[in-house]
Amino acid sequence: MSETRTLGVLGGSGLYEMPGLEILGERRVETPFGAPSDAVVEGKLGETRMLFLPRHGRGHRIAPHEINYRANVFALKVLGAEQIVSLSAVGSMREELAPGMLVTIDQHIDRTRMRASTFFEGRGIVAHVSVADPIDDALRRALYAAAVKAGGKVRDKGVYVCIEGPQFSTRAESEAHRKDGADVIGMTNVTEAKLAREAELPFAALAMVTDYDCWHPSEAAVDVATVVAVMKHNAELAIETLRVISQALPDPKASPATRALAGAIMTAPSAIPADSRTALMPLIERYL
């Protein structure tokens, strides 16, 4: 019998409505950082246990800059996720990346300003993890293969620039992001990737192109109606991609991400406050 894997999925509501998925229930989790965006839906697809968390809450109630990213990733960690796949709508910064295409990103540029992107803040413990390569390569390759098999037109590798939101970019900003090397633009992914690394969870992301942002000379500037229309098509590809990758997940134990905190914690164990030890135990226990 094959080994059961647990995959955490950050994405929109409805992704857990797929044929063959056995819903096991909903899990509500309180974390040291507050409540996640919504209840986590637990399901079983073949030999894979899946944990679905809609980052914006059901009904899309939470704006990108308001998401409790720390609670979301922490909740998936304590519920047993071994790796995380993020699904997100993005704008294209390249002519060849047309709406409806998918990108398995491999790099980030962080242009956020106001959000918490570390678990180690205000708790008397300092940790510096490396995010030189924020995406787990084995999981990204499996995600790419799954998206291709699902029938998507997929680009392997790309740079995701993450802005604060909730507003879309100005034309000047859009052009600047293109010059900086961005391939797609969104408002959520980089924060999730940084926290997943601190939680020692391999992370990969499927970016689903919905528009050309506002840089394109012959396309209308991005608006919500355009994004929603393309998202409906992309959601079908995302669901099928999850079905495929659930049968071909890499071994998370082989990922360097599972050892991200080794040597990264600067604070002496004896100097870590007792309440911080308790709160962060799911992350730091093996290093104490």
**What pLDDT was estimated at residue 217?**
77
Quote the radius of gyration of the chain (alpha carbons, Å).
18
CB 42 within 8 A of CB 51: yes
What is the structure's pLDDT at 226? 67
Q: Taking CA 51 as the corner, what is the angle to CA 45 and CA 53, rounded to the nearest 5 degrees?
A: 135
Set 38, 110, 183, 211: catalytic member = 211
Specify the pLDDT at position 219: 66
Q: Residue 50: exposed, middle, or buried by beta-carbon count in 10 A (0-12, 13-18, 19+)?
A: buried
The mean pLDDT of the chain is 93
* pLDDT at 1 (0 to 100): 35
pLDDT more than 70, % of the chain: 94
pTM score, two decimals? 0.94
Asked about 156 being catalytic, the answer comes back as no
CA-based nearest residue to 192, from 98, 56, 45: 56
What six digits make up the tokens of 186?
């969104």
How many other C-beta atoms can be found within 10 angstroms of the C-beta atom of residue 118?
A: 17
Mark whether 211 is an active-site residue: yes
Domains of the chain listed by start with CATH number: 5-287 (3.40.50.1580)
Of 213, 223, 251, 275, which is the active-site residue? 213
* pLDDT score recorded for residue 82: 98
pLDDT at 221: 62
pLDDT at 60: 87
Rounded to 5°, angle at Cα 254 from 248 and 259: 130
Sites in the chain below the pLDDT cut of 50: 1
Question: So what's the pLDDT on residue 12?
Answer: 65
**DSSP state string for the chain:** -PPPEEEEEEE-TTTT--TT-EEEEEE---BTTB--SSPEEEEEETTEEEEEEETTTTTT-S-GGG--HHHHHHHHHHTT-SEEEEEEEEEE-STTS-TT-EEE--EEEEE--S----S-SSSS--B----SS-S-HHHHHHHHHHHHHTT--EEE--EEEEE--SSPPPHHHHHHHHHTT-SEEESSHHHHHHHHHHTT--EEEEEEEEE-TTT-TTSPPP-HHHHHHHHHHHHHHHHHHHHHHTTS---GGG-GGGGTTTTTB-S-GGGS-HHHHHHTHHHHGGG-
